[in-house]
Amino acid sequence: MTSIFCGSSLAVFAEENPKKDESPLDLKTLKLADSDYAMPLPGEILSTLKSAKPEAWKQVTAAAQTLDVAADDEASSAILLGASVADCFLAIETKDTALFDKRSDTALEAAKKLGAEQPILDSGKTLKDLVKEGAWMKVVPKLDNLHLETLAAMRKIDDTDSEAITLASGWLRGLYLFSEGLLADYSAEPTLALRQKDLVNHLIIKLSGISDSAKESAQVKALSTALGKLPAALPEAKDATLTKEQVAALNAIAKSAFVK
Amino acid sequence: MNTFFRSRFSKLTGAAAMLSAALLLTATPATASVLGARVCAAVLFDALSSDWYIRDAFNYGLLQRGQSTVLSTTLNAGRTYKVVAGGCEDAFDVDVAVYDESGNLVSRDSDTSPLAVATVSPRWSGTFYVKVTMYQVRPNSGGAAHYVVQYAYQ
């Protein structure tokens, strides 16, 4: 990919260019920090359902209508934020304006409770305007931006608890919706997308690092318990798929992560 | 070095022009260099057709001439990804290579350019490793340049 060149003119270098390395990556000596890991978007897994039948999407959308978490403290607000953002990504996939409006309101309300700054909250209006215009593709980066800006705002006030809870909640909600779709229109191939043990382990590590007081929350306990059950339930081998029964088990685990 | 970072000044992902404006308005040289790398990546995102989703989050860092760094991410089966490594104004040749969880090379861009793009269509979901190498920097750069790594998928 040389067609796009960012820079000025070519330069002549006195030093010899280092030789380009073609060898495989030595994973044994590789040491990565947690910050070297890039999380996928909450809606990324949902988009792998693209080829599912309309009935499946109907089922997923119906499942997304229920989110019985009361935002009465920071932990539950963080859970609501993560789950609502995942629902918004579903709304984008299904072009469901009503669901998007409903969940973006919930997300913004939760973000406000978590200390998000006014410009972040104001961006919610821009999102809704884009949805009204039907510019769904433009909504994705803006929604991702809103999500990440809120996480950054949490970090700024040293609220790493809410950040970890939001990320775990968002992923579990995405898993719940994805598995609902699979149960409505099961085929083995989309279950290849569920091979995400490293991601789950990343979330488990993040969640285990939250404060003891946050861990006391019944809602956070439900989230942690669900996450803890997942590694054994996710496919291991590269080409391993899950049966419908296994998907149902995953669905039950993901559903149990969200309690009142 | 490889800090997961949210840009507080990039309200519009993929908009190279806005990022360039932000670059002009930013006072600190270190930040400007990261922004320069973002602008470079944004040029590619702007060139992509509209059906590509972009992960707004990005990794960034400073690399010496000839130095590499490795990052990781989860990529999903059934999607096609573009892993984009952009260098700042001081970068001359940035390469990117994507490896699977066994360390096997699955895609790379080793052309001489400060923008490198590796395209991956994973056959299974899982962890992938992204190696960024700053092969060459421009003269008077102090021997180092900033990079960003960002992802798009469809």
Place of tokens 């930040």: B31
Residues of B in contact with A152 (CB under 8 A): 6, 8
Is A227 among the domain residues? yes
Among A35, A37, A140, beta carbon nearest to B53: A140
The terminus-to-terminus CA distance of chain A in angstroms comes to: 51
- The residue range of the domain holding A84 is 65-256
Tell me, yes or no, whether A221 lies in a domain.
yes
* Nearest-neighbour CA in chain B from A76: distance (Å): 24
Cβ pair B50:A137 closer than 8 A? yes
Q: Which helix (H) or strand (E) holds B136?
A: strand B126-137
Is position A117 within any domain? Answer: yes
Chain A residue numbers touching B95 (CB-CB < 8 A): 20
What value does the CA radius of gyration of chain B take, rounded to a whole number of Å?
15
Residue-level pLDDT at A13 = 54
- Please say if the pLDDT value at position A3 is more than 90: no
Out of A168-182, B14-28, B56-70, least confident range? B14-28
Tell if the CB–CB gap between A196 and B126 is shorter than 8 Å: yes
Pick from B120, B96, B90: which is nearest to B109 by CA? B96
pLDDT at position A15, please? 58
- Output b/e per residue, B115-141; b: 16+ Cβ within 10 A: bbbbbbebebbbbbbbbbbbbbbbeeb
Q: Would residue A35 count as lying in a domain?
A: no
- The nearest alpha carbon in chain B to A25 belongs to B103
Do the chains contact at A35 and B50, CB–CB below 8 Å? no
For residues A157 and A193, the answer to whether their CB atoms sit within 8 Å is no
Per-residue pLDDT of A52-81, as tens digits, reads: 777 888 888 999 988 877 778 899 999 999
Task: Please choose, from the candidates B120, B133, B128, B43, the residue with its C-alpha nearest in 3D space to the C-alpha of residue A22.
Answer: B133
- Using a CB–CB cutoff of 8 Å, tell me whether A32 touches chain B: yes
pLDDT value for B14: 38
Quickly count helices (H) and strands (E) in chain A: 10, 1
Nearest CA in chain B to A46: B76
Q: Pull the structure tokens for residue A169.
A: 């909640």
Residue contact B78–A190, C-beta within 8 A: yes
Contact indicator for B40, B46 with CB cutoff of 8 Å: no
Binary contact (B55, A152; C-beta < 8 A): no
Does residue A204 belong to the interface with chain B, where contact is any CB pair within 8 Å? no
With cut-offs at 50, 70 and 90, classify the pLDDT of residue B97. Answer: very high
Return the minimum-mean-pLDDT range out of A92-96, A138-142, B78-82.
Answer: A138-142
Which residue is listed with tokens 């790379």?
B108
Predicted model pTM? 0.79
Option in B40, B75, B149 nearest A6 (CB): B40
pLDDT of residue A17: 65
Q: Where are the domains of chain B?
A: 3-153
- What is the Cα–Cα distance from B127 to B75, expressed in whole angstroms? 7
Helix, strand, coil in percent for chain B, rounding step 5? 20, 45, 35
Query: In one letter, which amino acid is B34?
Result: V
Residue A11 has pLDDT above 70, yes or no: no
Q: Which residue of A has its CA nearest to B103?
A: A25
* Predicted confidence (pLDDT) at residue B77 exceeds the cutoff of 90: no
d(CA B125, CA A229): 19
Q: Name the region of B115 (left: φ>0; alpha: ψ -120 to 50; beta: rest).
A: beta
Phi, psi dihedrals of residue B103, rounded to the nearest 5°: 90, 5
Q: For residue A89, tell me if it sits in a domain.
A: yes
Answer whether A193 touches B (CB < 8 Å): yes
Strands, sheet with A37-38, edge to edge from the N-terminal-most edge strand: A37-38, B68-75, B126-137, B91-99, B105-109
Per residue in B4-29, pLDDT (tens digit) is 333 322 323 334 444 444 444 433 44
The number of distinct structural domains making up chain A is 1
Question: What pLDDT was estimated at residue A16?
Answer: 63
Cβ contact (<8 Å) for A5 and B95? no
> Band of the pLDDT at A147, cuts 50, 70, 90?
confident
Does the ipTM exceed 0.95? Answer: no
pLDDT bin (cut points 50, 70, 90) of residue A133 is: very high
Which of chain A's residues have a Cβ under 8 Å away from the Cβ of B106? none
The residues in A 114-153 lying below 8 A from B, measured between CB atoms, are 123, 137, 140-142, 144-145, 148-149, 151-152
What element of type H or E holds A224? helix A218-233
Verify whether the Cβ–Cβ distance A38 to B136 is below 8 Å. no
Of A21-25, A120-124, A157-161, A236-240, give the lowest mean pLDDT range: A21-25
Q: How many Å lie between the alpha carbon of B30 and the closest alpha carbon of chain A?
A: 18
Contact (CB<8Å) A17/B135: yes
Helix, strand, coil percentages in chain A from 3-state DSSP, rounded to 5: 65, 0, 35
**What are the chain B neighbours of A47 within 8 Å (beta carbons)?**
53, 79, 153
The rounded distance, in Å, linking the Cα atoms of A60 and A177 is: 6
Dihedral pair phi/psi, residue B106, rounded to 5°: -110, -25
Nearest CA in chain B to A93: B53
**Tokens representing A78?**
């963080």
Helix, strand, or coil (residue B87): strand
Closest residue of A to B11, CA-based?
Answer: A145
Closest-CA distance of chain B to residue A9, Å: 10
CB B8 within 8 A of CB A149: yes
CATH class of B3-153: mainly beta
φ/ψ region of B14 (left if φ > 0, alpha if ψ in -120 to 50, else beta) reads left
How far is CA A206 from each of CA A202, A211, A212, rounded to the nearest angstrom? 6, 11, 13
Strands B3-5, B58-64: pairing is antiparallel
Torsion sign (Cα): B27, B31, B36, B39: negative
